[in-house]
Structure 1
Amino acid sequence: MSAEELMQRYAAGERDFSAIALSEAILEGADLSGVLLSGASLDGANLRRVNLSHADLSGADLNGADLTQADLSGADLRDAILDGATLEGAILDGANLSQADLKVANIVQADLSHARLSQANLSGANLEGADLSGADLAIADLHQANLHQAALEEANLSGANLADTNLEGTILEGGDSNLAT
């Protein structure tokens, strides 16, 4: 399926595009709120400024995808692969990223407030200036991540791996500070 066909079918009211292959697709600025893309292959896709709020992207392959300033608020990204993805300035408030693979992802200045990131792999990720207030990072792997000036107020970090993590200027007040390092 092409990106154009997806947009036409979405505009016609279709919402279930589970397991489709759209590697390298260009969907910049598209409104796909509430779309079902579980298990879809979107690796290397241009999803800059796309509206994927409340979308189901569980198990989707978003390796190297560009989600700069995308709206993923309330989206289901459980078990999604976002290895090396760019999520700079993305809105992920209330999103479910449990067990997602975000290794070396660029998540600078993203809004992850109240997101569920339990057991997510964020090793080597750049979360500089990200808002993780109220986020659930229980048992998350954050080793070698950059959390410089990130906000972690009221975040659950119990069992999280913060070995070799840059926490300079990070606000940790009020969260669960039982950390595994």
Structure 2
Amino acid sequence: MRFILVFWGILFSAHATASVYKCTGSDGKTAYQSTPCLAGQSNVELNVKTGSATDLDEQRKQQEEQRKKLDQDKLEREKLKQQQAQLHKAAADESAKNQLLIKNNPEKFSAYAIPPYLPGQLPDVAQNYQDRLPDIERLRRQAAEQALATGQCGRVEASELNVRSSRDALVFLINCSSGKSFYLTEQELTQ
């Protein structure tokens, strides 16, 4: 009778808790218990029903690594967001300089000679070079001024980034009221 009670007790306790914890201390002694191991012991959960084992220390380590990776990804996204905000501000500052130049020199520049390139609304040719938008806006202004300096351009009607551009060599097309057009490269403008 006693054997039957012990058997039923073991059977019900196995169904009540399907997990047993294998705890190994730093001294190498192993203990099996129904509660998680103490800190400083290796912690392996044994599932009595399935016979599987889960190394909880390894699982915790993987979760910590995943959390660190997610935190790192979040920091990188924030950094990229800040860089884009700075880039957009620098481009807006250059566009403002272009508009001020046009406003102060209406006899030399058409009102639409250097329309601002706005992030999110870029012409197709400028979309590939979004990360250089402040440079593009500055160089459009310089290209227009250089065309005027030749004496062959009475008034700038348009100064635009041209399809001949590449990442390392931007090209600008300047159209003048005289019908003359100029193609100026980034290298020519930065000499």
Bucket of the pairwise TM-score, normalised by the shorter protein? under 0.3
Between Structure 1 and Structure 2, the one with more strand by share is 2
Between Structure 1 and Structure 2, the one with more helix by share is 2
Larger radius of gyration: 2
